[in-house]
A and B are shown apart, each in its own frame.
Chain A
Amino acid sequence: MNETPSQTVGPFFSIGMAPRDVPGGTVTLSGRVLDGAGDPVPDAVVETWQAEGWGRAHTDPSGRWSIRVAPAAQIDVAVFARGLLNHVITRLDVGEDADIRLQGEDETTFYAI
């Protein structure tokens, strides 16, 4: 059987996709999401994926997000937004403020899994 295709989360995801920290999370992972013009993306969803569970944040008007996660060196992260027809996946180092640049010369490295 073929997979069901992805569609964008659109602009109104916050009524259905509630933010949450990783259960028992003790470390803060945070950063910004920026678009191809370098402007903040104020309507993105960032999710962290770990064996301990998943966490989720919505970006604020300055594109900032923050999630309490379980201790780890690197964490798999999925980003969703209006304008993204499928989520994108990257891997962030814990301890650094991570800017996720969706597009442009210093575009973040995204992965196909």
Chain B
Amino acid sequence: MSVHPPLDWPDYRSSRLRAPRRPPEPLELRGPLLVHERIGPAESDLTTAGPLGERIIVHGRVVDTDGRALPNTLIELWQANAAGRYRHPADQHPAPLDPNFAGAGRCVTDDAGGFRFVTVKPGAYPWGNHDNAWRPAHIHFSLIGRALTQRLVTQMYFPGDPLFFQDPILNSVRDPAARESLIARFDLETTVPDWALAYRFDIVLRHTPLEAE
């Protein structure tokens, strides 16, 4: 049973004309396995310009389903600012832009599969999917491993958010344990006293095609 959401999920209005209706056909990939090129300097601190909001550290490990570390995995992330507004022309939410927050970062995982970003906690925002719909606070993560089987785009949520119950995107993940795995854990140990709170978000990718699952 796949942990992934069904594509056909009418509660999410945007899926109605975009989700394929025919079941996918099986395809055995033989590769390719990518050799990771260098990405230039990591942009893992989103707060260098001094944005408003609650400064947080978001860190974790990327592993495969056997728990093996996945080093050199490219992570790109993007998010709303502390007021719930993206720096994007299509975002019309009447909340302030923050001139000191672009809301995007990237890095590659270290030898242990680890990553660490410094950012601000994003705000919730309304989105018109249904009556009085609000997205819970979340950070978008894009991960590129060594093969197409290790390609994942997901969203990280924050513990205890009261908006979870009405969010069709989080709730499109049907398995409760899988849904829970998208909620970061508050991580007191990684908190930096007098400076930033911390959350831990571990990510599990599939194997490459050349490894047994």
Is B25 a contact partner of A110 (Cβ separation < 8 A)? yes
Chain B residue contacts of A109, Cβ below 8 A: 22, 25
Is B153 a contact partner of A110 (Cβ separation < 8 A)? no
Chain B residue contacts of A95, Cβ below 8 A: none
**B48 interface contact, C-beta 8 A:** no
Using a Cβ–Cβ cut-off of 8 Å, how many residues does chain A contribute to the interface with B?
54
Is B76 a contact partner of A110 (Cβ separation < 8 A)? no
Per the 8 Å Cβ criterion, residues 62-95 of B in contact with A are 63-67, 76-78, 86-88, 90-91
C-alpha spacing A80/B86, complex, angstroms = 19
- Do most interface residues of chain A lie in helix, strand or loop, or is the interface mixed? loop
**Seed contacts A15-B88, A85-B7, A88-B24; 13 additional CB < 8 Å A-B pairs:** A2-B65, A5-B175, A5-B182, A6-B4, A9-B140, A11-B88, A16-B76, A16-B77, A17-B76, A36-B16, A84-B18, A112-B27, A113-B209
CB<8 Å pairs between A and B, sample of 6: A4-B154, A5-B179, A8-B169, A85-B15, A89-B24, A112-B26
Interface positions of B (Cβ within 8 A of A): 3-7, 9, 12, 14-22, 24-29, 31-34, 37, 63-67, 76-78, 86-88, 90-91, 102-106, 140, 142, 144, 147-149, 151-155, 169-170, 172-173, 175, 177-179, 181-182, 203-206, 209
